[in-house]
Structure 1
Amino acid sequence: MTTLDPTARRSLVVSNLICLASMVIWSAGLPAADLIIPHMPPIALTACRALLAAAVLLPIWWMIEGGKVVLGANWLRGAWVGFVTLGLASFFVIIALQYNDPVTVAIVSAIMPVIGILLECLADHRPFTRALAVGLVLSVAGGLIAVSGADGEVSFGIGVLAALASVTFYTWGSRETVKAFPDLTPLGRSTITIAGGAIVATLAALADGTLRGHWPDWAAIGWVEFGGLAAFSIGSMAIAQLLWIVSVGRIGIGAASMHMNAVPFYVMLMVFLMGGPWNWAQTVGAAIVVTGAAIAQGLIGGKRA
């Protein structure tokens, strides 16, 4: 067993605390999104969310690192990675929240480590082991149990598939954000993908509004709804994404994605503190998902897969 020196141990602890903070802030955005989702079409909400996040990060990046760095960055690549990482991922999470409650979406999102391992198998030729297979089965089973125990009408099709699509795009995009911009700082990587994604999402939203008349219901959006949008945008996207990219750059996508397993508990606790019920089916489902992801990563039952 390798023994870490005090400096390395402190660095590892700080990196994991940064990742934990990212997950907590991201989790808070899921219940907040319920305040704005009824009043904005998914594509328009995706665009507004990315635009608000970019409006916060872009001036900070410019002031800290200078216009030369900002203008000299690969914006075309940033638009592509941002479109996948935050555009498509955000769009599908909004669709998922329309069909399922925030806790269920968070539980489905907790299989992110398993999806990350699958991407590594395809991209890096990582072997598909028995532990990985067991982890995948348990993760899917736990997600189904969580969905079946959610309150109200739950879609076993669109809602769950949208959540899975969101996690898949976000996992791929997180790896690509770090790999595609090796010369940029975490602030630069986060900002260029968010701003790039915002440009693409805005064009899509304008086309959707022009061609199909899907515009936000501005008359229904007051301070409360705008507060939900701000939490979903500035908090759950700008701040959480910056902290997330910092942690991915330090400890890698595999270790960072393990923290996603705790998201269902953060969301469930937030909903409970806001007066919502405690759902034991979702608790059991979350526990099974966490167990499956842990087995797939080799944290339970032997060596790392």
Structure 2
Amino acid sequence: MLQPRRLTTLSANLICMASMLVWAAGLPAAELLIGPLTPLPLTALRMLTALALLLPLWLALEGLQSLRRASWTRGLFVGGIGFGLGAYLLVSAQSLTDPITIAVITAAMPVIGITLECLLDGRRLSGALILGVALSLCGGLISYGGKLGSGGFGIGALMAVVSVVCYTWGSRATVKSFPDLSPLGRATVTLAGATAVTTLAAGLQVSLGGPYPDWSAIGLPQIVALLIYGIGALAVSQVLWIISVGHLGIGVASLHGNATPFYVMIFLVMLGGSWSWTQALAAGIVVLGVLVAQGRMPRRTAETIRRDNPMS
């Protein structure tokens, strides 16, 4: 099994930023896929695309023994709920709203992540941590800029919130449930679980008379978008994310999520959109919040927390 070299806190934060940046690229890409593909088949295809890269890569790098040692049943549970259900709700939410709305709602992630650490890991709240979260939330609200996209606070926004809860729980559970696997192995096992659940659900939906994908509307732009959405914004992003969560903990890692609207804006600018200095300022405030939260809070990695709380 390949174990990553010990990361510095700076390296872990840069990896987390890279994960969010790559993930943000998937939101505009999803816009090309929502319509020809309904949320459940799209989620299943995205998972299959990611798994098609990660599973052979894991086998090639770490060998068959690593795959045999993995708890695939646990991966089915954690991946199915955390990433399968979470991803389906995210796609459903975006089909009812827009990319900026989805990105802004991820502002709830630090609160959810730190709440989980306090309840399950015995994390102590400190003034610096609270201030860091407040700055991160402030950055998210500034990027909101007085309007929440075109969807408002409807069912789509509610789905996005539940999706964030699932994903946050799943991220923590991935690190905690597979301590003997590498980040690549952790990501692959849980994505395999998510793939199994979403593929089965999509097949069941179609067999019961649900909406069928419009394959005739799938051309080269949609295929490229699926590769970005599945390989970049899921496979690559997920491995980077699990690395950062394993070092920083879900609470601090999730603070980075509030810079996502800025990253989405960057990709929209590349597609012809306009630059927003307000969102650039908001991203700077989020980064400041991340630095404040880590500058004074105890730097406890997931491994340290596990040693201190063996029953968690």
CA RMSD of aligned residues (A): 3.1
Residue 225 of structure 2 is matched in structure 1 by 228
Q: Single out whichever of 152-161 and 129-138 deviates more from structure 2.
A: 129-138
Choose which of 181, 191, 197 in structure 2 pairs with 1:200: 197
Cα distance change of structure 1 residues 260 and 97 upon mapping to structure 2, 3 Å threshold: same
CA shift at 1:252, angstroms?
2.1
* Local SS of the residue matching 1:153: coil
Q: How many residues in Structure 1 have an aligned counterpart in Structure 2?
A: 294
* Local SS of the residue matching 1:39: coil
Q: What are the residue-to-residue correspondences of 1:141-160 with 2, within 5 Å? A: 149-150=146-147, 153-160=150-157
Residue 36 of structure 1 is matched in structure 2 by 33
Cα distance change of structure 1 residues 150 and 281 upon mapping to structure 2, 3 Å threshold: farther
* Local SS of the residue matching 1:277: coil
Kept in 2, the 8 Å contact 1:113–1:293? The answer is: no
Choose which of 70, 75, 82 in structure 2 pairs with 1:73: 70
Q: Single out whichever of 240-249 and 208-217 deviates more from structure 2.
A: 208-217
Residue 27 of structure 1 is matched in structure 2 by 24
Choose which of 104, 107, 111 in structure 2 pairs with 1:107: 104
Output the amino acid matched with 1:202.
T
**CA-to-aligned-CA distance 1:172-229 (integer Å, 9 cap, x gap):** 1111001000111111101000111101110000011111322211110111011111
Distance 2:106 2:185 in 1: 26
Kept in 2, the 8 Å contact 1:90–1:166? The answer is: yes
Distance 2:130 2:259 in 1: 21
Distance 2:134 2:157 in 1: 16
Residue 253 of structure 1 is matched in structure 2 by 250
Residue 237 of structure 1 is matched in structure 2 by 234
**CA-to-aligned-CA distance 1:129-163 (integer Å, 9 cap, x gap):** 88888888888888677668448632312122122
Distance 1:193 1:143 in 2: 29
Residue 163 of structure 1 is matched in structure 2 by 160
Q: Single out whichever of 244-253 and 42-51 deviates more from structure 2.
A: 244-253
CA shift at 1:283, angstroms?
7.0
Distance 2:136 2:248 in 1: 23
Cα distance change of structure 1 residues 285 and 158 upon mapping to structure 2, 3 Å threshold: farther
Cα distance change of structure 1 residues 63 and 139 upon mapping to structure 2, 3 Å threshold: closer
Cα distance change of structure 1 residues 191 and 148 upon mapping to structure 2, 3 Å threshold: same
Distance 2:19 2:285 in 1: 23
CA shift at 1:23, angstroms?
1.1
Distance 1:25 1:47 in 2: 20
Residue 305 of structure 2 is matched in structure 1 by none
Distance 1:179 1:162 in 2: 26
Cα distance change of structure 1 residues 137 and 160 upon mapping to structure 2, 3 Å threshold: farther
* Local SS of the residue matching 1:34: helix
Residue 43 (structure 2) pairs with residue 46 (structure 1): yes
Residue 98 of structure 1 is matched in structure 2 by 95
Residue 302 of structure 2 is matched in structure 1 by none
Cα distance change of structure 1 residues 135 and 249 upon mapping to structure 2, 3 Å threshold: closer
Choose which of 118, 121, 131 in structure 2 pairs with 1:121: 118
Cα distance change of structure 1 residues 137 and 165 upon mapping to structure 2, 3 Å threshold: farther
**CA-to-aligned-CA distance 1:48-77 (integer Å, 9 cap, x gap):** 111110011001111111122213311010
Distance 1:144 1:84 in 2: 28
Output the amino acid matched with 1:48.
L
Between the aligned residues of both structures, percent identity stands at 49
Distance 1:102 1:255 in 2: 24
CA shift at 1:44, angstroms?
0.8
Kept in 2, the 8 Å contact 1:149–1:281? The answer is: no
Q: Single out whichever of 19-28 and 97-106 deviates more from structure 2.
A: 97-106
CA shift at 1:17, angstroms?
1.9
Cα distance change of structure 1 residues 288 and 163 upon mapping to structure 2, 3 Å threshold: farther
Residue 4 of structure 1 is matched in structure 2 by none
What's the TM-score, normalizing by structure 2? 0.81
Distance 2:130 2:248 in 1: 24
* Local SS of the residue matching 1:55: helix
Residue ranges of structure 2 left out of the alignment (5+ in a row) = 299-312
CA shift at 1:261, angstroms?
2.1
Residue ranges of structure 1 left out of the alignment (5+ in a row) = 1-6
Distance 1:286 1:104 in 2: 16
Kept in 2, the 8 Å contact 1:15–1:247? The answer is: yes
Choose which of 50, 54, 59 in structure 1 pairs with 2:56: 59
Residue 172 (structure 2) pairs with residue 214 (structure 1): no
